[in-house]
Amino acid sequence: MSGENKVLRPILATFYMFLFKRLYALAEQHDGRLPVSVRVLLDEFPNIGQIPGFSEIISTARSL
């Protein structure tokens, strides 16, 4: 693994964490549902590092 990949992992994990937080906040503003359906295709997902609380995010996101 190159040094660049190791440096980018925490940045990508932080990006996804804030993406999901923003989607949750947007859903709260619209009575618990997003105004537009969102699909996240996570190709190469295991290579970006660990997203804090991801299992909880996935389990609750389906209802939004």
Question: How does pLDDT run across 5-36, given as a tens digit for each residue?
Answer: 677 778 888 888 898 889 989 998 999 888 99
Is-contact 52 17, C-beta < 8 A?
yes
pLDDT at 29: 93
The band of 44, judged by pLDDT with boundaries at 50, 70 and 90, is confident
Question: E strands within 1-64?
Answer: none
- pTM for this entry: 0.71
Grade residue 61 by pLDDT with cuts at 50, 70 and 90: confident
